């Protein structure tokens, strides 16, 4: 029961983090473009892609229409969070890496407890005892 509760809380909080970030990308586009440019990323190409990824990734995990697609979303989010955190640390802005660190903790909790909470298990996630 505890692992199931941990799964749903961490998954919902991770999804809210990503949906909130997508909303920020949509509502403050100029600021986001400047921030990405400051991190040496190609903002004109990256912003539309990241909006789609930040919406579709959590939806794939929450809906779980396909186990491989859900696992791919976990992987993509994992690498995005690593890249985001390291980019902020690389330009000496450690406070900017805090959401990535929180996201990594939530992602780890969600991924490792998913087989306990979901009816169809992922072959790549650990199996927790109930």
Per-residue pLDDT reduced to its tens digit, 67-92: 999 999 999 999 999 999 998 898 88
Q: Please tell me the predicted confidence (pLDDT) of residue 75.
A: 96
Between CA 15 and CA 57 the distance in angstroms is: 8
- pLDDT for position 126: 66
DSSP string, 9-30: HHHHHHHHHHHHHHHHHHHSHH
pLDDT at 92: 87
Please tell me the predicted confidence (pLDDT) of residue 128. Answer: 54
DSSP state of 1: -
Under-70 pLDDT residues of the chain? 126-130
């Amino acid at each position: 029961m505890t692992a199931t509760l941990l799964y749903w809380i961490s998954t919902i909080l991770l999804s809210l983090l990503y949906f909130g970030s997508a909303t920020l990308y949509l509502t403050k586009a100029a600021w986001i473009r400047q921030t990405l440019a400051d991190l040496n990323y190609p903002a004109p190409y990256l912003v539309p892609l990241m909006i789609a990824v930040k919406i579709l990734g959590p939806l794939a995990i929450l809906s779980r229409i396909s186990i491989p697609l859900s696992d791919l979303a976990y992987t993509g989010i994992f690498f995005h969070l690593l890249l985001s955190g390291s980019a902020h640390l690389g330009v000496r802005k450690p406070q900017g890496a805090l959401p990535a660190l929180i996201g990594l903790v939530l992602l780890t909790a969600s991924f490792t407890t998913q087989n306990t909470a979901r009816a169809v298990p992922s072959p790549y996630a650990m199996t927790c005892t109930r």
